[in-house]
Structure 1
Amino acid sequence: MIDCVIIDDEQHAIDLLLQHISQVHFLRVVGTATNPIKGLAMITDLKPGLVFLDVQMPQLTGVEMLKLISKDSHIIMTTAYKEYAVQGFEHEVVDYLLKPVQFLRFLKAVNRMWTIHSNQRPVIEQDHYVFVKTEQKGKLLKIDARRITYIEGLSNYAIIHMDDKKKIITYLKLKELSESLAARGFVRVHKSFIISLSHLTAVEGNMVRILNVEQPINIGEAYRQDFFEVINTKMLYVPPDDTIN
């Protein structure tokens, strides 16, 4: 678990980050402040592992605060002004998020933080497993999340499709599953479907194809923007012909 502090002079920006953080199981908010002076004192007192730090604030800017915060606290900077990114990375911040902060871009940043955090801890056993309630009362089933190809939502329950074609019925809604599995490489693409990015083989217009699944899955309009933000982070761009030697 990583303790977080949010420093931003705009309460609505704090509220948005609180909403994002609530969907990530390894983050816990221990304090927020709209006043940078109070925020600095809070960081000194609470010693959080991660600070979400706004750049443009009265009295003390985020860049000025970077010089005062202990190196024991990692920083993710947030601002509406992309020109401050260079200054932030000069101070070795974890990442730089542009406002309004989109969830999938936020998730990429905190996953980077989790990697840093994990590398600082003794490795006991890599955790790839989740437990789900099954149709049998009182029974919990242990599942290797790496073997889930996609999840199909049906009313008040869901069908988890495994890479060996096995189907597991669980009495959880897609919203709950999406929030729990977001940090494990799963993304919701439709009101009825969550897919595993590691099993995604192709994107064809408004459809995605999953490894060893014959039928493509439609990308819902409400989920299209968030999905393609994830895909764009993996995109390889080819330079124009006249720049190729």
Structure 2
Amino acid sequence: MPLNHLFIFHQDGYLNIEISRISHIEGGDVYSTVHLDNCKHLVKMPLYLIAESLKANGFYRIHTSYIVPLQRIVSINSDVTDIKGVGNLPVSKKYFRLLLSEVRTIHTSKGSQG
């Protein structure tokens, strides 16, 4: 079931963040950084747990260190993805294939104009 808000620990309390404001999440084994349009928050939670929690909201892993919301992906290839409001982030070949297997793609010939 998709979430509308995410509560993250901040200083001595919890911060309520709208999921739609998240541009991407960068992470590691213990800590992750939740990036919003105008700020970022460090959270003590590994990226894989955040990815599992937000999968129903259309967040996809594109790299060992990044998850992004599908609606923010402008373009993607086997090396990089352009994220609206962020710019380019790296894409691993493994996660590129997984992402393409889960989303609908339409293939066009190289000469097509759209």
2:5 counterpart residue number = 129
Q: Distance in 2 between matches of 1:237 and 1:176?
A: 33
Q: Distance in 1 between matches of 2:8 and 2:51?
A: 13
Structure 1 residues 140-219: aligned runs within 5 Å:
140-163=14-37, 165-214=38-87, 216-219=88-91
Q: Distance in 2 between matches of 1:202 and 1:238?
A: 15
1:227 counterpart residue number = 99
Give structure 1 stretches of 5+ with no counterpart.
1-25, 27-110, 112-126, 240-245
- Name the amino acid aligned to 1:220: S
| Offset of residue 225 of structure 1 | 2.1
Q: Deviations over 1:18-75 (max 9, x none)?
A: xxxxxxxx4xxxxxxxxxxxxxxxxxxxxxxxxxxxxxxxxxxxxxxxxxxxxxxxxx
Q: Deviations over 1:133-184 (max 9, x none)?
A: 23x24x2111100110100004411111112x21011111101100000000
- Name the amino acid aligned to 2:89: I
| Offset of residue 196 of structure 1 | 1.0
Q: Distance in 1 between matches of 2:41 and 2:91?
A: 23
Across the two proteins, how many residue pairs are aligned to each other? 109
| Structural RMSD (CA) | 2.1
- Name the amino acid aligned to 1:150: H
Give structure 2 stretches of 5+ with no counterpart.
110-114
Q: Distance in 2 between matches of 1:220 and 1:237?
A: 21
Higher helix share: 1
Q: Deviations over 1:181-207 (max 9, x none)?
A: 000010011111011111111113321
| Offset of residue 129 of structure 1 | 1.1
User: 1:238/1:191 Cα in 2 relative to 1: closer, same or farther (>3 Å)?
Assistant: closer
| Offset of residue 228 of structure 1 | 1.3
Q: Distance in 1 between matches of 2:101 and 2:77?
A: 16
Q: Distance in 2 between matches of 1:224 and 1:236?
A: 16
Q: Identity percentage over the alignment?
A: 26
TM-score, reference length from structure 2: 0.82
Higher strand share: 2
